[in-house]
Amino acid sequence: MSKTIDLDAAIAAIMSEPSEVRYPVYYAEKLKRLSTVPQEMSAREYIKQQFRMCMTQSDGVKCEGCPLSPSVTGEYCDTYEVLHPDQAVAIVEKWAQEHPEERSEE
């Protein structure tokens, strides 16, 4: 059973993020692709965690060590997400569980 995602609300939520964590056109396209995929995590959370995962792997440039890298999946992450969305979501969910966000206590 797939979740219904309000794309306008999701895009607005992403646009409200600080500029260093949003790339509007690229992520809006990801939202459109992921909106019809049965998901455990929301499209917004997927994009946030996938971006975080990407930025922790060689500064998001070389893909070394990334679970969505071509050396692991055989395809670049954006292609893999389109061709295998369920698997991409599962990979990012697993990574996010294994690498929880550090919360700063103020």
* Mean pLDDT of the 75-101 span: 89
- Of 4, 74, 104, the residue nearest 91 (C-alpha): 74
Task: Tell whether the model's pLDDT for residue 92 goes beyond 90.
Answer: yes
Q: What pLDDT, on a 0 to 100 scale, did the predictor assign at position 1?
A: 45
**What percentage of the chain reaches a pLDDT higher than 90?**
12
pLDDT in tens, 15-43: 666 555 555 556 666 666 666 554 467 88
Task: Tell whether the model's pLDDT for residue 5 goes beyond 80.
Answer: no
Ordered by start, the domain boundaries in the chain are 7-34+42-98
Higher per-residue pLDDT: 95 or 61: 95
Instruction: Output 50-53 pairs: Cβ under 8 A, ≥24 positions apart.
Output: 50/77, 50/88, 50/92, 51/21, 51/27, 52/96, 52/99, 52/101, 53/92, 53/95, 53/96, 53/99
